[in-house]
Amino acid sequence: MRRLFPLVILLTTTLVVTESLAAGRLELHDDRHALAGAAALHDVIDQDPLEPVFWVEYRLPWRRWTLRPDVGTLVMTSGGWQVWAGIRSELVPKALPIWWAITTNIGHYRRGGGPLLGHRLEFRSGFEMYGSLNREWALGLTFHHLSNASVGRRNPGTEILSLVVTRSWPRRADRLR
C-alpha cells in the first residue's frame, strides 16, 4: 500500500490538472530561467532514520507543450548523492499567486552512507506547490518519491519533503526587448 500512495497522488493530480487546463482554468507558468535550492528531509514516511538533505535544480527556459526540462543534484548529510535530468509540467491557476508542478526525473544515485535504494539508477517523481513572492522569487513545498522502478532486485524507495526557494530571470532575448 505504501508503494501505491505516490502513484495514486501523481495520477489523481495529473487528471485534475489536465481537465483544468483543457477547461481554461489554468495557464502555463512563464518560460524563464530558474534556479531552485532546497533544504529537505529524507525518508519522511518511514522515518527510519529521518535525514536532512539538500538539493539544487536548474530549470531551462523553454518548453514543449506543457513540459519543461530540468537538471539537478541532491546531497545527503550521510554522504549519499544523486544527479538527475527530467521534465516538469508547471501550471498556474488564473488570478492566483500560486503555481504547482508535476515532475519526473531519471538519475544516478550513489549511496555513500545513505540508504540502500536497490540500484544506481533511480527515478524521482513528485508534486510541487509554490507561492510567488514577486516576479523573480518563489517559496515552495515539494514531495518527491525516489525509486528504482524495480530495475534492481530490491526496490525500497524513499520519500523527500522539501522547502524550496526559487529564483527566476528572463531569457537573454527577453531582456533585450
Q: Is the pTM of this model over 0.85?
A: no
Domains and CATH numbers, the chain: 4-175 (2.40.160.20)
C-beta of residue 69 within 8 angstroms of C-beta of residue 76 = no
Give residue 96's identity as a one-letter amino acid code: L
**For 140-173, b where at least 16 C-beta lie within 10 A, e where not — what string?**
bebbbbbbbeeebeeeebbbbbbebebebebeee
Q: How many CB atoms lie within 10 A of CB 89?
A: 21
C-beta of residue 3 within 8 angstroms of C-beta of residue 157 = yes
> pLDDT tens across 63-83, in order?
887 889 999 999 999 999 999
For the cut 70, the answer to whether the pLDDT of residue 11 exceeds it is no
**pLDDT of 29:** 59
Q: Give the span between the Cα atoms of 167 and 174, in whole angstroms.
A: 16
Q: Give the span between the Cα atoms of 4 and 30, in whole angstroms.
A: 32
**pLDDT of 18:** 60
Look at phi and psi of residue 149 and say left if phi exceeds 0, alpha if psi is from -120 to 50, else beta: left
